Structure 1
């Protein structure tokens, strides 16, 4: 049960402390990945696949080593799991960015909000007005609630430290090279597809939890089922559609990313997001994160119970085969 306890402690640490201010391991991984990219980059899918495999694989192996070294020592295992969980979660930092954007827009400081949006997403904010910035913020909170909170918690619950570190490595690479641009169309393909696969289940769990946390499960599921296919992402679509249904808003539209534009479809039936909806969205994301922590701890307990039952069954079979003199 040390895994379940470690996940809960790591989640509490993220809520209380946010991301580490200095020497953030995820930032260090990003710098390492950038240096490796400079030496291995080529505009081909095989080269990008090798790049992703080496970086994600080595990080996952590190997690396996930590898991093996601590698994027979419950206190150390709990501490290692808690530290890894705190390291990979970004829920509190996401909430702080939402609060910052809300405050800037409430003060009608649109130029500062345009500059700040880059902390949440890669959209070109040059010509965005207050309501456009509010929509971008709400959609980024929704998508990142899955990527930065629900998904790492679930992978940690099922696989422990390797799941936590391996998922964060894959998601970080997707953020670095997985977006569509002339430079990364081929090189980033493998990182983007890996991230898609790893988020298939967590994104849908996030969508379900969103409806439950808002007290509007029927509305969230209805918009998800109807509108998610309009979104180009197989995982952001269900999450953003569920948030749209849960909040009674219409999300989506055409986004400008500088080098290209992307039609996200229209998700939901209510009004478009306004500045007042940013804090509502952040509060919903907070409740979703708390629910996800509970689900992840439950998953860890189930995995532990299954492993114990399997081990007990194996011991019983081996015992039957012994001959006692």
Structure 2
């Protein structure tokens, strides 16, 4: 029942500005903790070892935090609210739809909106580039921000979802192949890969099933093309159901990357309507998760 309440709370309220303008969001607190670890320990020798210990420490911190909530009498409501906060369904949909709205108004507004959710260069993006980036972000964040948190809550309860979010935050902040973080962030990045192995593939399955797509061959063919061991799976599932070619060439920090196409048979001129279709796909998967939660509550 707690997961059902959490899914409905997130869908109804998302990330209310009136609350998080006054209080730090848990994700912000997690980011501050990771930032402190980076500033404190990412120095001197043995950075890979230090980073490994930090990744373990963050995981244990998440588990302990979730366990402490269980010690509160009648903690059900608190737990439901906490889980709702750690699921990012509505806010993800809002950010994705904002790109469609911006692109309909102008290319400049579309670029500005998509820059809020992707890390690639946006200054020279065409309309189809913007739409592709938004759709890819929708697919990847559906896995990281919705399916994976729900999965780890079902497996390990509140300790599982808090630990997952801490590791995922660490990966996003220090899990980069930069000179500063190549060694220190290695363990956080690898641990995040492990924690997302099942959720990423489950996300692909849910996308396919909720759209009536029964042919696994294109997903199995295209998912391994992605530079990430996990992000390619939801992208490879969403591309054929929308009939849009994803990935492909893009630029990071002024350097062009010629990534292979995912679902190269698809259209290469997606627009705002395709972004909205991707947002609709997010809600279909959310509905499937809610149905699973209901079935589990009834058993």
TM-score by length of 1: 0.83
Q: Which structure has the greater CA radius of gyration?
A: 1
How far the C-alpha of 1:112 sits from its partner, in A, is: 2.8
2:176 aligned with 1:179: yes
The structure with more helix, counted as a fraction of residues: 1
Q: Which residue of 1 aligns with 2:225?
A: 230
Decide which moves more: 35-44 or 208-217: 35-44
Counterpart of 2:241 in structure 1 is: 246
Task: Decide whether aligned partners of structure 1 residues 261 and 199 sit closer, same or farther in structure 2, where only a CA change above 3 A counts.
Answer: farther
Are 1:207 and 2:204 an aligned pair? yes
What pairs with 1:1-325 in structure 2 (closer than 5 Å)? 5-21=1-17, 22=20, 23-42=24-43, 44-67=47-70, 69=71, 76-108=74-106, 110-218=107-215, 221-258=216-253, 262-268=257-263, 269-272=265-268, 273-296=270-293, 298=295
Instruction: Indicate if the aligned counterparts of 1:250 and 1:267 stay in contact, CA closer than 8 A.
Output: yes
- Structure 2: give runs of 5+ residues left out of the alignment: none
Per-residue displacement from partner, 1:282-308 (whole Å, max 9, x unpaired)? Answer: 000111122123335555777xxxxxx
2:184 partner SS? coil
CA distance in 2 between counterparts of 1:236 and 1:204 reads: 9
4+ aligned runs moved over 6 Å, structure 1 = none
- Structure 1 gap segments, 5+ residues each: 303-325
Number of aligned positions between the proteins: 290
CA drift at 1:117:
2.2
For the aligned residue pairs, the C-alpha RMSD in angstroms reads 2.0
Q: Tell which deviates more after alignment, 9-18 or 291-300.
A: 291-300
Distance 1:236 1:77, change over 3 A: same
Q: Deviations over 1:16-63 (max 9, x none)?
A: 111243121111211222123112113832122122222232122111
Return 174-183 or 126-135, whichever deviates more: 174-183
- SS of 1:256's equivalent? strand
CA shift for structure 1 position 211 = 0.7
What is the TM-score normalised by the length of structure 2?
Answer: 0.90
Q: 1:88, CA displacement in angstroms?
A: 0.7
Moved more, 259-268 or 94-103: 259-268
- Residue 235 of structure 1 aligns to a residue whose secondary structure is coil
Helix, strand or coil at the partner of 1:255: strand
3-state DSSP of counterpart to 1:232: coil
Distance 2:298 2:67 in 1: 19
How far apart in 2 are the matches of 1:171 and 1:262? 25
Q: Distance in 2 between matches of 1:50 and 1:238?
A: 30
